[in-house]
Amino acid sequence: MFKRSLVSFGVFLLLSSVAYAIKIPVDKSKIKKVEDAYTKVWEKIYGGKEDDVAYGIVALENGESAIVGTCKSFEAQRTDICVSRMSADGQVIWTILLGGKKEDEGKAITRAADGNLFVLGRTKSLSKNYDRDIYVAKVSLEGKLLWEKAMGGERDENAGGIVGTDDGGVMFAGDSESFTKRYRDIYYGKLTKEGKTVFARTIGGKKTDEAHALTRMKDGSITLVGMREVDRTHYEDFFIMKMNQEGKTLWTKTFGDYDDDSLEGVTATMDGGIVAVGKTRSYGSEQTDLTVMKLNADGKVMWHKIYGFKYYEYGNAVTMTQDGGFMLAGGTSTLGKGSHSVYMLALDKNGALVWSHVYGDRNRDVAYGIARMSDGSVVSVGESDSFSRSKNFYMIKIKSKK
């Protein structure tokens, strides 16, 4: 039986030193067709007669993985959070549904220190106020729900990212409408391994601030990426915040140009920095371009690349490859057969393109999550309605030809 826990909230405004956008050098590259470095191992569609979309993936042992998404099939009640454990060849080992009788949505998944799974989403079923709250759950590797918890206030919260902590607990991030008078603020917190609240806080300015993803750094700190709506321009800017596992802010960065810029995914690097991906309408983009950047441990931008064509290109997730480079996953409306195609790019450690490819068919195919498997291959997940009347989980596994 779920019991709602009392939460103490702290409200913090960003320092004035980051209340404006700063410009950084950017390299807008022309993408060449490069298709020799990686090859497809398998491509799978998984779902039922209703809409089912995968948003997050985490690697397990022996090439297996666990994915999280939002499902209407499998006897879901309206929409449920669905978690599946997958074999190395893309077969379903088990699937469980989380939530209740109302709308529940899955967003991200990660490993706990004990090897089990932490799941992030948002829930209407577990909320007492008929709104949508942040949802955090712990699930065993055998598919058993260990605990679940809703976090939030009297208005809607949105899920962003989740990471495990050294003490076996979990940190989450998203955004909230509950603790501000008008706009959304970044909302983040920490739970113990038993699901008890350690802290829950908001951070933001006078307009909208959102957290879209989290990653754990080499030194154990946590980095959050998303966007801020900057007062002086009224556009969205890239936002990055580094904090320790107690939630203390170490530094923040806000930057962009004179249109909408947002970060959607992030991964840690071996040298203590991060690589983040997202989308931009700035820097001379014709519509929306895919953006990717590397920052060092102190938040200095080491390189910033933009890849795009005539219409819409965007990055949703990123992971390190076995050779120290990076694999990006997202979508494109310029390339491919359908309205949107899965768009994957491999970069070297300096951000130079070494491979790119589109996948999908005649309708909408988009990748939302990506992870490197224990065998060095990469699996990306998302949605597809190219092969059925409804949306299905889309999964693709690729590996290096080297």
Q: Which pLDDT score, from 0 to 100, does residue 31 have? A: 47
| CA 369 – CA 316 distance, rounded (Å) | 7
At residue 133 the predicted structure's pLDDT band, cuts being 50, 70 and 90, is: very high
Q: Which pLDDT score, from 0 to 100, does residue 75 have? A: 86
Number of domains in the chain: 1
Give the domain CATH number at 354.
2.120.10.30
Q: 12 in a domain, yes or no?
A: no
Q: 15 in a domain, yes or no?
A: no
Q: Which pLDDT score, from 0 to 100, does residue 22 have? A: 38
Question: At residue 9, does pLDDT exceed 70?
Answer: no
**Collapsing DSSP states into helix, strand and coil, what is residue 16?**
helix
Q: 29 in a domain, yes or no?
A: no
CB 238 within 8 A of CB 252: no
Instruction: Choose between 172 and 256: higher pLDDT.
Output: 172
Q: Which pLDDT score, from 0 to 100, does residue 232 have? A: 58
CB atoms within 10 A of CB 272: 13
| CA 216 – CA 11 distance, rounded (Å) | 23
Report pLDDT digits (tens) over 34-81: 557 899 999 999 988 889 999 999 999 999 999 999 999 988 889 999
Q: Which pLDDT score, from 0 to 100, does residue 138 have? A: 98
CB atoms within 10 A of CB 8: 8
| CA 381 – CA 3 distance, rounded (Å) | 32
Q: Which pLDDT score, from 0 to 100, does residue 20 have? A: 31
* Mean pLDDT in residue range 365-384: 96
Q: Which residues contact 389 (CB under 8 A, 6 or more apart)?
A: none
| CA 276 – CA 293 distance, rounded (Å) | 6
Q: Which pLDDT score, from 0 to 100, does residue 234 have? A: 63
CB atoms within 10 A of CB 313: 27
Q: 13 in a domain, yes or no?
A: no
Task: For residue 139, list its beta bridge partners.
Answer: 117, 145
Report the chain's C-alpha Rg in angstroms: 20
| CA 124 – CA 158 distance, rounded (Å) | 11
Q: Which pLDDT score, from 0 to 100, does residue 26 have? A: 54
* Mean pLDDT of all residues belonging to the chain: 89
| CA 268 – CA 274 distance, rounded (Å) | 4
Q: 24 in a domain, yes or no?
A: no
Please tell me the least confidently modeled range out of 11-25, 109-123, 221-235: 11-25
CB 134 within 8 A of CB 159: yes
| CA 217 – CA 75 distance, rounded (Å) | 39
Query: What distances in angstroms separate CA 391 from CA 54, 364, 387, one per listed residue?
Result: 10, 9, 9
| CA 254 – CA 301 distance, rounded (Å) | 11
Please tell me the least confidently modeled range out of 81-90, 191-200, 255-264: 255-264
Q: Which pLDDT score, from 0 to 100, does residue 267 have? A: 98
Instruction: Choose between 27 and 135: higher pLDDT.
Output: 135
Q: Which residues contact 206 (CB under 8 A, 6 or more apart)?
A: 183, 231
Phi, psi of 50 (to 5 degrees): -105, 180
Report pLDDT digits (tens) over 340-370: 999 999 999 999 999 999 999 889 999 999 9
**Collapsing DSSP states into helix, strand and coil, what is residue 81?**
strand
Sign, CA dihedral 298-300-306-312, equals positive
* Mean pLDDT in residue range 331-336: 92
Q: What is the DSSP letter of 15?
A: P
Q: 371 in a domain, yes or no?
A: yes
Q: Which residues contact 318 (CB under 8 A, 6 or more apart)?
A: 265, 266, 267, 275, 276, 277, 292, 326, 327, 328, 329, 370
Q: Which pLDDT score, from 0 to 100, does residue 47 have? A: 87
Q: Which pLDDT score, from 0 to 100, does residue 265 have? A: 98
Q: Which pLDDT score, from 0 to 100, does residue 402 have? A: 79
Domain that holds residue 267: 34-400
Question: At residue 149, does pLDDT exceed 80?
Answer: yes
Share of the chain above pLDDT 90, in %: 72
CB atoms within 10 A of CB 135: 29
CB atoms within 10 A of CB 332: 25
Report pLDDT digits (tens) over 185-224: 999 999 999 999 999 999 987 889 999 999 999 999 999 9
Instruction: Choose between 78 and 326: higher pLDDT.
Output: 326
| CA 250 – CA 224 distance, rounded (Å) | 11
Distance of CA 159 to the CA centre of its chain: 9
**Collapsing DSSP states into helix, strand and coil, what is residue 370?**
strand
Q: How many residues make up the chain in this entry?
A: 402
